[in-house]
């Protein structure tokens, strides 16, 4: 057992972090959010060219041939950078929607009762309906958009739409191989990874502020009350990280449900604590933390919300293999991410 990142995995994460730092620094991030949060097609294509969306497609299909753990490391960095867009849905649709793998198509996602994020930007819509999943594109997708009304979204990075009843369009959709259960699991896991990255970023920002900001003649980070907020943020992040990474390795549904639950909690609570550490400044539009908090709320409601995750975990109690049981495990080769040119 060696539950640590391999050298290849470290290099992969380093690669995407560098790409994001170069192409989506703070100014670009603020501009994206102040501009209404549409999908930046050029950046989307750049991420596609780097292999982000095709990471798990087999090499024979033009993909990179990696697994969930590598995707999770990528999505953690996307979450840290607060990149807007339906990232998980596009990654999941990479084999099913033309252009998605190369980042030339944007795939939004929805299920009954939820608003649709980035509907107007979408080239295809991934619809989750229980254990079924299908993709809408072309005419049917246009009709969904025509029947939808825009929501004044609390998240400035995510335009939201309320569609008319979706199931009416089901007959016109293309079924997705593997069905809804797999997509929901993997979507939940990739989203949990984004939440994890967001939680980590909130922690870094809070710690930086606690070191720099002086009150009563001392850095506020020397006050125990502030220290304890920061320490709890680290505990939440560390626990969620172990859960998310392990779920990526095992792919176990109960572990994924747990990982989503803890990562949602870490992203939301860390953003709130970061805001508290930043005080009045944290409550202004100029601080970034509100953007992360609002995105964390959005993601917490997507793919697998807390109530459903808790019910799923409860259902497994007394029946699942006990914690610590050795699991069977598929080993995988790990070729490198495509160069980012």
Partner 1 sequence: MDLAYTQEEREFRARLREWLAAVLPGLPPRPDPADWPGRRAYDAGWQRLLYDAGYAGLHWPADAGGRGATPTQHLIFLEETERAGAPYVGANFVGLLHAGPTIAAEGSPEQRARWLPPVLRGDEMWCQGFSEPGAGSDLAALRTRAVRDGDAYVVSGQKIWTSHAEVADWCELLVRTDAAAPKHRGISWLAMRMDAPGVTVRPLRTLAGSTEFAEVFLDEVRVPLAHRVGAENDGWRVTMVTLSFERGTAFVGEVVACRRTLDALAAEARRTGRWDDPVLRRRLGRLAAEFQALWRLTQWNVSEAQRSGGVPGAGGSVFKLRYSHARQELYEAAAEVLGAGDALDLDREWVRDRLSSLSYTIAAGTSQIQRNIVAERILGLPKGR
Token pair belonging to 327? 């699991």
**Interacting stretch for partner 1, rule CB under 8 A, among 35-43, 51-59, 174-182, 253-261?**
253-261
10 binds partner 1 (CB under 8 A): no
Q: Report the length, in residues, of the chain.
A: 341
Shortest separation between residue 128's beta carbon and partner 1, angstroms: 21
**Tokens 């459903």, residue located:** 308
Q: Cα separation of 192 and 299, whole Å?
A: 8
Q: Are strands 160-162 and 149-151 parallel, antiparallel or unpaired?
A: antiparallel
In the complex, the smallest distance separating the C-beta of residue 160 from partner 1, rounded to whole angstroms, is: 27
Residue 146 backbone dihedrals phi, psi, to 5 degrees = -65, -35
Kindly state the tokens that stand for 144. 């969904």
Binding piece for partner 1, criterion CB under 8 A, among 114-122, 185-193, 237-245, 292-300: 237-245
Q: Which is nearer to partner 1, 98 or 332 (CB)?
A: 332
Q: Does 276 bind partner 1 (CB under 8 A)?
A: no
Question: What DSSP designation does 257 have?
Answer: H
DSSP 55-123: TTS-GGGTS----HHHHHHHHHHHHHHT--S-HHHHHHTTTTSTTTTTTSS-EEEEETTSPEETGGG-S
Question: Minimum distance between the CB of residue 234 and partner 1, rounded to whole angstroms?
Answer: 6
Question: Which x/- pattern, by CB under 8 A, does the window 178-217 give for partner 1?
Answer: -----------------------------x--xx------
How near is the Cβ of 262 to partner 1 at its closest, in Å? 6
Token output for 237: 């992040």
**Which residues is 124 bridged to in the sheet?**
107, 137
Between residue 309 and residue 328, which ones bind partner 1 under the rule CB under 8 A? 309-318, 322-324, 326-327
Region of 30-38, 83-91, 128-136, 250-258 interacting with partner 1 (CB under 8 A): 250-258
Indicate whether 240 belongs to the interface with partner 1 (CB under 8 A).
yes
Q: Which of 27, 113, 224, 280 binds partner 1 (CB under 8 A)?
A: 224
Q: Which of these ranges, 4-12, 92-100, 145-153, 181-189, lies near partner 1 under the rule CB under 8 A?
A: 4-12
Decide if residue 242 touches partner 1 (CB under 8 A). Answer: yes
Q: Which is nearer to partner 1, 42 or 314 (CB)?
A: 314
Beta strand segments in 149-246, E: 149-151, 160-162, 174-175, 214-215, 218-219
Q: Exposed (0-12), middle (13-18) or buried (19+): which is 64, by Cβ within 10 Å?
A: buried
Q: In what order do the strands lie in the sheet with 116-117?
A: 116-117, 160-162, 149-151
Residues that bind partner 1 (CB under 8 A): 1-6, 9, 69, 207, 210-211, 218-219, 221-224, 226-228, 230-232, 234-235, 238-243, 245-246, 248-250, 254-255, 257-259, 261-262, 307, 309-318, 322-324, 326-327, 329, 331
């Amino acid at each position: 057992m060696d539950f640590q990142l391999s050298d290849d995995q470290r290099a992969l994460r380093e690669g995407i972090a560098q790409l994001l730092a170069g192409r989506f620094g703070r100014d670009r991030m603020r501009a994206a959010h102040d501009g209404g949060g549409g999908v930046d097609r050029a950046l989307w294509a750049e991420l596609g060219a780097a292999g982000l969306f095709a990471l798990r497609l087999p090499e024979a299909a033009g993909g990179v041939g990696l697994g969930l753990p590598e995707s999770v490391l990528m999505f953690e960095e996307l979450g840290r950078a607060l990149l807007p867009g339906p990232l998980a849905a596009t990654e999941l649709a990479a084999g099913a929607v033309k252009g998605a793998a190369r980042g030339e198509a944007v795939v939004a996602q929805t299920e009954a009762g939820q608003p649709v994020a980035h509907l107007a930007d979408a080239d295809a819509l991934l619809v989750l309906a229980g254990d079924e999943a299908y993709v809408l594109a072309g005419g049917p997708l246009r009709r969904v958009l025509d029947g939808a009304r825009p929501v004044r979204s609390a998240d400035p990075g995510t335009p939201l739409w309320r569609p008319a009843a979706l199931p009416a369009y089901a007959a016109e959709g293309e079924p997705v191989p593997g069905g809804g259960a797999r997509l929901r699991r993997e979507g939940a896991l990739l989203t949990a990874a984004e939440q994890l990255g967001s939680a980590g970023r909130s922690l870094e920002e809070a710690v930086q502020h606690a070191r720099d900001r002086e009150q009563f003649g001392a850095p506020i980070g020397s006050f125990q009350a502030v220290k304890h907020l920061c320490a709890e943020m680290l505990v939440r992040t560390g626990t969620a990280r172990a859960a998310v990474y392990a779920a990526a390795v095992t792919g176990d549904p109960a572990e994924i449900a747990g990982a989503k639950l803890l990562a949602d909690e870490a992203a939301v609570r860390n953003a709130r604590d970061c805001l508290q550490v930043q005080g009045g400044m944290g409550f202004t539009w100029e601080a970034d933390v509100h953007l992360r908090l609002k995105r964390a709320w959005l993601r917490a409601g997507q793919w697998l919300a807390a109530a459903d995750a808790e019910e799923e975990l409860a259902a497994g109690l007394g029946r699942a293999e006990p914690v610590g049981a050795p699991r069977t495990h598929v080993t995988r080769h790990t070729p490198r991410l495509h160069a980012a040119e």
